[in-house]
Amino acid sequence: MPDIIAIAVRLGLFLDLMLLFGLPMFGLYTLRGTERASGSVLRFRSVLATIALAGIVLSILGMMVLAASMGGVPLDQVDRATVNLLISGTAIGTVWQVRVAALLLVLYFSIVGWRRPAFALWSLSATAAVALATLAWTGHGAADEGLRGWVHLGADITHLWAAGIWVGALFALCLLIFRPAARMAIDHIHLSHRALDGFAKVGSVVVGLLILSGFINSWILIGPSRLGSLFASLYGLLLGAKLILFGVMLTLALPDPLPRCSH
């Protein structure tokens, strides 16, 4: 059961922090001028604050799960001394402190600063990028040393940021598009159409970064000598499923090559 909880918490953190980074980035690369202060964008304000709070709660829960695992006790029996020791006396604790500090800044910028929307979006993107990058320091991206370690860590962080832009954009587009018909003014329709077009251009770069960083990570983790036995492991099967889903996603995103007949 503790392993299941740890997996669920880490998955929740991945999704939470990717959304937290991708949403303000969406506002930066798709919206212009007064559009950044429109009602559609200000909806991000409460959403970002909620996601930041959820990230803090998940980070605290994740630290408690780690303490329970190390102490060999149930989650409800974790003592404060063990948690304090992990936070103040380990590298994981240092990364955790950086993440929580970044999330507190995200929470702050999501509440104040919207009189200058561009400043708010840049501040939110930068602080959320730091929070998201900390996940790489507690995963396989930090397992190597020297130049190999820096390349691995850089590829892992790039992979996380690219995925965050993609996930955040999908969520932001849903916020723009799925709303009552009575609130679908012509200006909002034009804004949504241009946002879709803007993401289509950025999405091509994101896909390229995902492929490149994913290839580097896989090459370092697997290596050419273990390719033959890759799919005999759970990791290989999960990686294969991920690549298939990624391929399906790209296929669905391709434009229709056949001309449409008009009647």
Predicted local distance difference test score (pLDDT) of residue 38: 55
Predicted local distance difference test score (pLDDT) of residue 262: 47
Give the three-state DSSP class for 213: helix
Predicted local distance difference test score (pLDDT) of residue 35: 61
User: Tokens representing 166?
Assistant: 């993609």
Predicted local distance difference test score (pLDDT) of residue 185: 67
142-155 pLDDT, tens digit each: 666 777 778 888 88
Residue ranges in the chain whose pLDDT is less than 50: 1, 256-263
Q: What angle do CA 136, 141, 147 make, to 5 degrees?
A: 125
Task: Report pTM.
Answer: 0.81
Q: Which candidate, 154, 139, 124, 121, places its Cα nearest to that of 17?
A: 124
Lookup result for tokens 């996940």: 135
> What are the C-alpha distances in Å from 76 to residues 2, 59, 84, 98?
11, 16, 16, 25
Predicted local distance difference test score (pLDDT) of residue 94: 92
Predicted local distance difference test score (pLDDT) of residue 247: 73
Predicted local distance difference test score (pLDDT) of residue 261: 47
Predicted local distance difference test score (pLDDT) of residue 158: 93
245-256 pLDDT, tens digit each: 777 766 755 554
Predicted local distance difference test score (pLDDT) of residue 5: 84
Torsion of CA 163, 166, 171, 176, to 10 degrees: 160
Alpha helices in the chain (DSSP H): 2-30, 39-71, 80-89, 91-111, 117-137, 146-177, 186-221, 234-253
Give the three-state DSSP class for 79: coil
* Euclidean distance between CA atoms 59 and 242, whole angstroms: 25
Predicted local distance difference test score (pLDDT) of residue 195: 73
Predicted local distance difference test score (pLDDT) of residue 171: 87
